[in-house]
Amino acid sequence: MAETVIDEIWEEKDGTIVLVLRQPQAWTDAGVMATLQDRLNGYISAIRDGVLLRKHPQYQGRPFKIRLVCFHDPPDDMRQKMDRVNHDLNQLGIRFHVMQIKIETPPEARTRLGKTIGSFFKRLMGSKSGV
């Protein structure tokens, strides 16, 4: 069995141990679904099989939560799968939470950035023509 790498672990104020699973790729990328499923299964196994507790005995008796952090909006079919995962994990006593992080550049920032880059290239091209 392949080793499971947990992206991050922290403790919430209520004592819940949170295992963070990052999903930065677009959902349409090849192999994303299979990779995510493998990684999620690894997280679940680490909790259920006691691997995590052997490495971190201080977590004994604490509730666990897996937090999936997405950087792209999941498609509807994936949202339905996440709902099923949430239900199934709750049956096992493991909470599941999906957090989507949206990174957007405001239009005014894009305009300023475009002007700055344009000005830079004009200066760069101007200095080359004078050489």
Quote the CA–CA distance of 18 and 11 in Å, as a whole number: 6
CA distance 49 to 36: 19
- Looking at residue 12, its pLDDT comes to 96
Confidence of residue 130 (pLDDT cuts 50, 70, 90): very low
Per the DSSP assignment, residues forming a β-bridge with 95 are: 65
Structure tokens at 65: 């939560």
pLDDT in tens, 19-74: 999 999 888 888 898 999 999 999 999 999 999 999 999 999 999 999 999 988 88
- How many Cβ atoms sit within 10 Å of the Cβ of residue 35? 13
36 token code pair: 């995510």
- The answer, yes or no, to whether residue 131 has pLDDT greater than 60, is no
On whether the CB atoms of residues 20 and 67 are closer than 8 A, the answer is yes
List, in sequence order, every beta strand (DSSP E) within the chain.
8-11, 17-23, 64-70, 94-100
pTM, entire model: 0.75
Q: Could you tell me how many residues make up the chain? A: 131
What would the pLDDT profile of 73-114 be if each residue is shown by its tens digit?
888 888 999 999 999 999 999 999 999 887 666 666 556 666
- 41-59 CB burial, b ≥16 within 10 A, e <16: ebbbebbeeeebbeeeeeb
